Structure 1
């Protein structure tokens, strides 16, 4: 019975000739893979890993450089903002000074114009008073001559009656 069992094993007990051919082919395939193809695959994998590691290191360096440049940019931007704020402040101060100077100059010119206007008005008033005094004096003497019926112009000029009358009127005027 034990023998019958050995014969019935089938694929577990292979025939020797196909087994040896299979074993030789397996060994040949194994050697071919181990000596020829697997070293090339390992070489490619190592190169790929080295290239990838180099890229990661390069990317890290680039990332660090970008962070440094960004920090410099932020610093320059902060300095530019500070400078712009300082320039704006200076411009406001200069503008305020210029406005104050222009306002003072305008007030000075206004006072000059007003003073000149008062001087012109005073001069014109003096001229008008002098002309009116002559005209009033002439009209008064003519009127007096008509009332009296005789010419009184010579008498009025000699005695200064009209001038005294106008001086009294001027003294009686309210000052303002």
Structure 2
């Protein structure tokens, strides 16, 4: 092909110093073919490449946007979780304080109830003890009165069960004491051995005479 081009260049009149120049027809055909190829490339290949590039760019940008959105959602979820955790801790502390206060109140109420119950039991026991003491005093006074009456009856030689006789006997006994007719050793002997006194013996004799 080179020799043909050289011959053609010489025939046309090109200088002999440019042996590698193509034939003008080849240049025209090459230009037409290049134009056709350029048109095909520009109309077919470039749009598809641009579409693929745009699609790839959109996919990348969409992925980045989705990643940023997911990151924002994760950050929001983390903040919400931290807020809920703080709220739960605050509520737990509040419940703990309320339970502590309620427990202290219950303990105070139970202590007050126990103290009131103890005071009531103590007061009731004191009243019962006082009542029993009064009852014992009454019983003791009754027994002491009975023993005193019996002892005085033995001393004066008469029974003091009857109130009238009791008063008269006591008066007579006091009169005898004033006159000195009743001696202590006589009273002690009569009270200790149960022997009848002179007044009792006189009363017994009068009773036998009446019968």
TM-score band, normalised by shorter chain: 0.5 to 0.7
The count of aligned residue pairs is: 135
Residue 127 of structure 1: which of 111, 114, 138 is its match? 138
Match of 2:62 in 1: 51
Report deviation, 1:117.
Answer: 0.7
Distance 1:104-1:155 versus aligned 2 partners, 3 A rule: closer
Match of 1:93 in 2: 104
Match of 1:73 in 2: 84
Task: List alignment gaps of at least 5 residues for structure 1.
Answer: 1-19, 162-176
Q: Which has the larger radius of gyration?
A: 2
Report deviation, 1:106.
Answer: 2.0
Match of 1:152 in 2: 159
Report deviation, 1:39.
Answer: 2.9
Match of 2:23 in 1: none
Report deviation, 1:124.
Answer: 1.6
Distance 1:86-1:155 versus aligned 2 partners, 3 A rule: closer
More helix as a share of residues: 1
Secondary structure at 2:110 match in 1:
helix
Residue 64 of structure 1: which of 42, 55, 75 is its match? 75
State whether residues 158 and 169 of structure 2, in contact with CA within 8 Å, keep that contact through their aligned partners in structure 1. no
Counterpart check, 1:105 vs 2:141: no
TM-score (norm 2): 0.49
Secondary structure at 2:128 match in 1:
helix
Task: Summarize the alignment of residues 34-45 of structure 1 with structure 2, pairs less than 5 Å apart.
Answer: 34-45=45-56
TM-score (norm 1): 0.57
CA distance in structure 1 between the aligned counterparts of 2:125 and 2:56, rounded to whole angstroms: 100
- The worse-fitting range, judged by mean Cα deviation, of 150-159 and 127-136 is 150-159
Distance 1:32-1:61 versus aligned 2 partners, 3 A rule: same
State whether residues 159 and 166 of structure 2, in contact with CA within 8 Å, keep that contact through their aligned partners in structure 1. yes
